[in-house]
Amino acid sequence: MTEAPEIAFAQAYDHYSAEEHETWRRLYARMLPKWHRYANPKFLQGIQALSLDPLRVPRLEDVNRFLLPLTGFRAKAVGGYVPAFTFFDCLANREFPTTVTVRGSNCLDYLPEPDIFHDIAGHVPMHTDPHFAETLVRFGECARKAAKLNAPPAQLAAIIRAMARFFWFTIEFGLMRAPAGSGPGLKVYGSGLLSSYGEIEHAIESPAVQRYPLQLEWVVNQSFEIDRYQPLLFVADSFEHLYGLVGELERWMLAGKLDNVAPGPPLVKEEDLLSFRFITSPVH
Ligand SMILES: [Fe+2]
């Protein structure tokens, strides 16, 4: 084993333009009422806990000053694509690889790749919640055990595909039953929805969306496409339920039950496979 490549990157804060700060302001201002209507209460508490500036692109060090004491997580600037194992390994270390670029002012509604609004406003508020933070760590530990398997490429690709699907339908696009006392219906906890002005409402309100109880065997075999509103979403009962399912995912992996998941998207890149050949931390 060799050391994984270093992905750290600096947030050159003074290089943000006035237009980029204005883009952040507009994105934040128009999402705020949607969050109050559709977001899980833990997310709303997270926004408060982080004291995010609604007017300017956040400095990661400011975000981390509030985040670190709560769950030990910190946002870590990255400069581009982070291969699968590297990403999950960061989660196990309570680091969240964070894109620091701002989307163009002409694409407020949709961007296929993450930007700082998706990562900081969509993901990081959830990381203030201890239960949710432990779930992310557990994803990371599952990936470390996958690396330890030293599986041949086809088997490893299937495991990565299964993990990526589970992550997509939960951390990125998950819905959850509204907790007791916060009214009927569903709430959003997935960051792809929490950072999308159009899709957050569509996910909850549209009769075109199929919503089913979160089931591991379904999710790991379910392909998805990233460049459209998701037609199929899964509903977790609670954050405890979600945490338990990540443990179940790991048990399935160790039992070989992820070795033959259905083919199809997402594509597992060569660099994703290679990243699992690096182990940066001891595996227990
Ligand atoms: Fe994301």
* SS3 track for 170-204: HHHCCEEECCCCCCCCEEECCHHHHCCCCHHHHHH
Is 59 in contact with 153 (CB distance < 8 Å)? no
**Domain contains 5:** no
Rounded CA-CA distance 40/22 in Å is 27
Q: From CA 247, how far away is CA 273, in angstroms rounded?
A: 22
Question: Is 282 part of a structural domain of the chain?
Answer: no
Query: Per the domain annotation, does 6 fall within a domain?
Result: no
Q: Where are the alpha helices (DSSP H) in 72-127?
A: 84-92, 116
Distance 173 CA to ligand 1 centre (A): 9
What single-letter amino acid sits at 271?
E
Residue 227 CA to ligand 1 center (angstroms) comes to 14
* Ion ligand 1 — residues with CB < 5 Å: 191
Q: How many domains does the chain have?
A: 1
If you measure from the C-alpha of residue 196 to the centroid of ligand 1, how many angstroms do you get, rounded to a whole number? 11
Q: Indicate the burial class of 135 (C-beta count within 10 angstroms; 0-12, 13-18, 19 or more).
A: buried
Give the lowest-confidence range in 26-30, 95-99, 105-109: 105-109
Distance, CA of 176 to CA of 186 (rounded, Å): 6
Q: What is the pLDDT of residue 178?
A: 87
The confidence score (pLDDT) of residue 182 equals 64
Q: Which residues pair with 234 in a beta bridge?
A: 212
Residue 1: pLDDT above 50? Answer: no
Helix axes of 130-148 and 239-254: crossing angle, nearest 10 degrees:
10
Instruction: Kindly report the CATH number assigned to the domain that includes residue 127.
Output: 1.10.800.10
Interval 63-84: pLDDT, tens: 999 999 999 999 999 988 899 9
Asked if residue 1 is part of any domain, the answer here is no
Q: What confidence tens digit (pLDDT) does each residue in 141-170 have?
A: 999 999 999 999 999 999 999 999 999 999
Q: What is the mean pLDDT of residues 121-147?
A: 98
Phi, psi (deg, nearest 5) at residue 94: 60, 40
d(CA 50, CA 123): 12
Does any domain span residue 135? yes
- Read out DSSP for 96-160? EEEE-----TT-SS--SS--HIIIIIIIGGGGGSHHHHHHHHHHHHHHHHHHHTT--HHHHHHHH
Distance 22 CA to ligand 1 centre (A): 22
Instruction: Report if residue 7 sits inside a domain.
Output: no
> Looking at the predicted structure, is the pLDDT value of residue 96 above 80?
yes
Cα 124 to middle of ligand 1, angstroms: 10
CA of 77 to the centre of ligand 1 (A): 14
Give the catalytic positions in this structure. 118, 123, 172, 195
Tell me if 170 is assigned to some domain: yes
Residue 187 lies in a domain: yes
On average, the pLDDT of the chain sits at 93
Instruction: Convert the pLDDT of each residue in 171-217 to its tens digit.
Output: 999 999 987 776 669 999 999 999 999 999 999 999 999 999 999 99
Within 8 A by CB and 6+ apart from 179, the residues are 40, 41, 187, 238
Question: Is-contact 184 248, C-beta < 8 A?
Answer: no
Q: What is the pLDDT of residue 4?
A: 55
Q: Exposed (0-12), middle (13-18) or buried (19+): which is 159, by Cβ within 10 Å?
A: buried
What's the predicted TM-score (pTM) here? 0.94
pLDDT tier for residue 113 given thresholds of 50, 70 and 90:
confident
Q: Which domain holds residue 30?
A: 13-275
Confidence of residue 280 (pLDDT cuts 50, 70, 90): very low
